């Protein structure tokens, strides 16, 4: 048989569908309403190449394009968090409440973000969030929302101490993860670090000896991801407030008021009452909102931060503002529900999962995580399964991420929405099936 003449009439390559015809093919447009043109074009060109190389028939090009299209418009995939770690930084920290998700969707189009619908004039950006924060905090407190906790500290230190000294305890020079260190962040503002005390003990006299004409601010950082135990001491905010310098307190995890279940976790109300000029925090840790940073403090000072040129570079978008406002105004955020889930209920759910999939029920402590409450354990339960299931569960749909400990995979339902328990069971059964096949 002679090979087909590439220029002849019967060359199969002539039957490869043209790009324009494929792009407008109803089957393809129906299969990809959420995909961008470049994703579709890429799939089309790849399928046409396969046909040109003779690896697929020209008639199969359309089916090949559809099979190769990415399943969704974002590479970020939802995960069922079966680790028992509530604020899991690698899994996107706080999951938003239904209220917050609805608010994000409502704000996604045009909105009255900076527009007063009554007067038709320019309005205040994020007024709803600021009002909700002011209501939750001591009277006279103003608030500013920025990109994250690090940005909040950056803006506070820049405004108060750029070109001057920041006095900070050696016990509070914290690395927050992924190699990022708060002392480096503070130095990047042009402030000079004035370290006082020792790793385990710092007293008021240490601060007092360092505070002087060069001091821009005293910064107190909550060492949120580790604990120094034993022979240690730190200085309370109320005592720092007696020094002749403004005090910035980075509380980290964003509790607005004391939580009796987290007695060692600092909160904004207490720090402000104790005399902190500024409090900075993350919004997506224990507060349970979207990624954002809060700067809270006395009105005049917060106004100074708001007018700093850097504030514009650190500001958040309308989706964040919408999610944060809904988080502040709604009931308990998912992180709070998960953190406080009754042990009996967790045991019941884990036991149901164990009987569905054949795993072993065992006790398992959850964690607050995300650089919060490092000493606190959350008593709960898990289902122990063979560790070989970890990979198929992670890469399945939905992705289920558990905790691998020794040679076991532990699935803890604490941070799984209860309505997804069946989805976890189905995922395990299908991973077991695939393993047997
Ligand atoms: C988490 C944390 C930060 C950083 O906050 P991000 O929102 O991650 O930028 C800073 N300081 C403390 C004490 C923290 O716990």
pLDDT per position as a tens digit, 43-77: 899 999 999 999 999 988 988 887 787 777 777 89
Is any atom of ligand 1 closer than 6 Å to the C-beta of 176?
yes
Alpha helices in 214-293 (DSSP H): 237-240, 268-273
DSSP H/E element including 52: helix 37-52
Pairing relation of β-strands 141-146 and 293-298?
A: antiparallel
Find the 253 Cα to ligand 1 centroid distance in Å: 7
Is any atom of ligand 1 closer than 6 Å to the C-beta of 148?
yes
pLDDT level of residue 390 (50, 70, 90 thresholds): very high
Find the 382 Cα to ligand 1 centroid distance in Å: 29
Residue nearest to atom 8 of ligand 1 (CA): 149
Find the 185 Cα to ligand 1 centroid distance in Å: 11
Atom of ligand 1 nearest to the CA of 292: 7
The pLDDT score that the predictor gives to residue 275 is 98
The angle at the Cα of 111, spanning 105 to 115, to the nearest 5 degrees, equals 155
Q: Cα(385)–Cα(90) distance, rounded to whole angstroms? A: 23
Average pLDDT of the chain, as a whole number: 93
Q: Cα(47)–Cα(65) distance, rounded to whole angstroms? A: 6
Q: Are 321 and 145 in contact (CB under 8 A)?
A: yes
For the segment 314-367, what is each residue's pLDDT rounded down to a tens digit?
999 999 999 999 999 999 999 999 999 999 999 999 999 999 999 999 999 999
The pLDDT score that the predictor gives to residue 237 is 98
Pairing relation of β-strands 293-298 and 278-282?
A: antiparallel
The pLDDT score that the predictor gives to residue 383 is 98
Is any atom of ligand 1 closer than 6 Å to the C-beta of 150?
yes
Atom of ligand 1 nearest to the CA of 225: 15
Tell me the CA distances in angstroms from 82 to 20, 75, 335, 415, one per residue in order.
45, 21, 14, 6
Atom of ligand 1 nearest to the CA of 224: 15
Q: Cα(56)–Cα(242) distance, rounded to whole angstroms? A: 78
The pLDDT score that the predictor gives to residue 31 is 67
Pocket test for ligand 1, best of 224, 264, 289 (most atoms within 8 A of CB): 224
Helix/strand number for the chain, H first, E second: 18, 17
Residue range 246-252: mean pLDDT, rounded: 97
Q: Are 247 and 217 in contact (CB under 8 A)?
A: yes
The pLDDT score that the predictor gives to residue 384 is 98
Q: Cα(228)–Cα(279) distance, rounded to whole angstroms? A: 22
Q: Is residue 1 over pLDDT 50? A: no
Residue range 173-195: mean pLDDT, rounded: 94
Residue range 32-41: mean pLDDT, rounded: 78
Closest C-alpha among 11, 12, 29 to residue 20: 29
Closest C-alpha among 28, 57, 33, 59 to residue 44: 28
Residue range 234-247: mean pLDDT, rounded: 97
- Portion of the chain with pLDDT greater than 90, in percent: 80
pLDDT level of residue 36 (50, 70, 90 thresholds): confident
The HSE-up count of residue 149 (CA atoms within 13 Å, CB side) is: 28
Contacts of 344 (CB under 8 A, 6+ apart): none
The pLDDT score that the predictor gives to residue 5 is 54
Compute the Cα dihedral for 396, 402, 405, 409 and give only its sign.
negative
Is any atom of ligand 1 closer than 6 Å to the C-beta of 369?
no
Pairing relation of β-strands 399-401 and 165-169?
A: unpaired
Closest C-alpha among 180, 207, 208 to residue 195: 207
Q: Are 156 and 191 in contact (CB under 8 A)?
A: no
Contacts of 256 (CB under 8 A, 6+ apart): 133, 136, 137, 267, 268, 269, 287
Q: Which residue has the tokens 């400990």?
A: 405
Is any atom of ligand 1 closer than 6 Å to the C-beta of 280?
no
């Amino acid at each position: 048989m002679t090979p087909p003449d590439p220029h002849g009439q019967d060359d199969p390559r002539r039957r490869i569908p043209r790009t324009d015809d494929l792009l407008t093919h109803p089957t393809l447009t129906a299969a990809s309403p959420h995909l961008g043109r470049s994703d579709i074009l890429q799939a089309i060109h790849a399928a046409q190449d396969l046909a040109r190389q003779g690896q697929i028939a020209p008639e199969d090009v359309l089916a090949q394009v559809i099979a190769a299209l990415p399943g969704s418009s974002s590479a970020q995939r939802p995960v069922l968090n079966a680790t028992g770690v509530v604020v899991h930084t690698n899994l996107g920290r706080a999951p938003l409440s239904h209220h917050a998700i609805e608010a994000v969707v409502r704000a996604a189009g045009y909105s009255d973000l900076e527009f007063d619908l009554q007067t038709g004039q320019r309005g205040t950006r994020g007024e709803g969030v600021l009002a909700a924060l002011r209501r939750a905090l001591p009277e006279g407190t103003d608030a500013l929302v920025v990109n994250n906790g690090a940005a909040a500290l950056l803006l506070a230190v820049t405004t108060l101490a750029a070109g001057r000294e920041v006095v900070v305890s050696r016990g509070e020079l914290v690395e927050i993860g992924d190699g990022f260190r708060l002392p480096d962040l503070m130095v990047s503002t042009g402030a000079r670090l004035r370290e006082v005390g020792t790793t385990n003990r710092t007293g008021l006299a240490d601060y007092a000896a360092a505070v002087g004409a060069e001091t821009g601010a005293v910064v107190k950082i909550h060492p949120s991801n580790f604990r120094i135990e034993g022979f240690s001491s730190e200085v309370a905010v109320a005592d720092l407030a007696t020094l002749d310098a403004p005090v910035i307190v980075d509380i980290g995890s964003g509790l607005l008021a004391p939580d009796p279940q987290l007695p060692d976790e600092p909160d904004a109300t207490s720090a402000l009452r104790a005399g902190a000029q500024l409090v900075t925090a993350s919004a997506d840790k224990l507060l349970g909102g979207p990624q954002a940073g809060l700067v809270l403090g006395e009105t005049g000072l917060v106004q100074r931060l708001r007018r700093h040129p850097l504030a514009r570079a650190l500001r958040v978008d309308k989706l964040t503002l919408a999610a944060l406002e809904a988080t502040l105004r709604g009931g308990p955020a998912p992180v709070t529900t998960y953190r406080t889930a009754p042990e009996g209920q967790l045991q019941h759910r884990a036991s149901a999962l164990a009987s569905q999939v054949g795993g072993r029920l065992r006790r398992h402590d959850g964690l607050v995580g995300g650089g919060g409450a490092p000493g606190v354990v959350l008593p709960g339960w898990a289902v122990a399964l063979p560790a070989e299931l970890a990979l198929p569960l992670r890469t399945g749909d939905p992705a289920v991420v558990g905790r691998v400990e020794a040679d076991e995979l532990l699935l803890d339902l604490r941070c799984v929405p209860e309505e997804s328990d069946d989805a976890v069971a189905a995922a395990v059964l299908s991973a077991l099936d695939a393993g047997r096949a």
